Chain A
């Protein structure tokens, strides 16, 4: 339906939208909170699973109800569904 109406799916289904800027910053929209937080790994709850961000010197630059921005040196990201 969303596709038929040309609406972005994440706006309707609350699916996470992940934007990565190089290896320095990652922005996750439609998150459901932080599950675990350390300087090497941040686990973020999203609909139907979690997103793991691995790296060094990770910190939360900004966190609001809808979006969360992580900064630091990002090595890899994993999805657990």
Chain B
């Protein structure tokens, strides 16, 4: 069909002789129909039309072309109607252009996360109906979806033409089971109990008591006279705690000062091969910020293994900057508070007394803080078997 064909009418005294000549000369004919004794209709490949006509003359027949079909003929016809041809090309170009946008989003997979949630998350990432396919990367979108929706355990994003198919798999939510079926609540660190809220277990302390780290505050063993019942002690015990410590920082810091010199190098990466396009790339890169910008050559739906990489080196020098005492004190105090907060399960810093001094090239801050924090944590009760000493 792509090669095209030509329908001929053979007129002569013995058209079958013509067919034999065609066959002998290697010209394949098809759809031979006999109109009458003198007229045969047959089809030959378009490229062999001239050969068929000349061979027909050899067989004392006249060949008349009835029609021609094929892409070449179609193009000739089309050229006579340029507006139609232009319209067809415009439609094709439009189809090609429109397929670089997302027009259908299909979500399939889990029931734990609603489709609307996934669509909203994708919308926040700039992917919705009408988005250009060049604006997002399927792999990156997959990672970002997993980050945005922690209830999803697995996501696959496949694009076929203008259809985006998101396959998801939800995370199985297991019921939060108690890690310890039987446990005491013990003190995390030394302190004074200020608040006591116990919902399960036997209280072994009261507000105002001083407790030591490891001391049982609420027992998980309930005494019923004849027997002991092991339970999981539950409650919140807050207390006042005290911390002392030291933090330090250098009095002189090194600051980057950009010289304004920027070196740019370009490389072309073809598959795994890298071709360096810049000639002079032999300079010291020690005091330079390196910025890499990559551009991949791509058509909608296809990425060529061709990447243009531009590496910019921004030169700087290091300059010593003397740190002011107030600034040093503020930053050290802030670091001290951050460290305290990090060490607490839950609580606040009520008061801090500190002293900041400079010793040689260092600023040293010594601090004492009073905190109100959660004092208790669970301590599992080991099972005691008969005859075993607790």
Contacts and interface: CB of A to CB of B under 8 A. Distances in A.
Interface of A: 31, 33-39, 59-65, 68
B32 A60 contact: yes
Contacts of A65: 23-24, 26
Given A62-B28, A63-B28, A65-B26, A33 B20 contact: yes
B13 interface: no
B22 A63 contact: yes
B23 A33 contact: yes
Contacts of B22: 63
B382 interface: no
Interface in B1-59: 15-16, 19-20, 22-24, 26, 28-34, 40, 42
A55 to B, nearest CB: 13
Given A34-B19, A34-B20, A36-B16, A63 B26 contact: no
Interface residues of B, number: 17
10 contacts: A37-B19, A59-B34, A60-B19, A60-B29, A60-B42, A62-B28, A63-B19, A63-B23, A65-B24, A65-B26
Given A61-B31, A63-B19, A63-B30, 16 more contacts: A31-B23, A33-B20, A33-B23, A34-B16, A34-B20, A36-B16, A37-B19, A38-B34, A60-B30, A60-B42, A62-B28, A62-B29, A63-B22, A63-B29, A64-B29, A65-B24
Interface in B93-143: none
A65 to B, nearest CB: 5
Contacts of B15: 37
Contact of A35 (B16, B23, B24, B31): B16
B20 A39 contact: no
A38 B30 CA distance: 16
A62 B31 CA distance: 6
Contacts of B23: 31, 33, 63-65, 68
Nearest to B41: A59
Nearest to B36: A38
Contacts of B20: 33-34
Contacts of B33: 59
Contacts of A39: 34
Contacts of A61: 30-32
Contact of B31 (A34, A37, A59, A64): A59
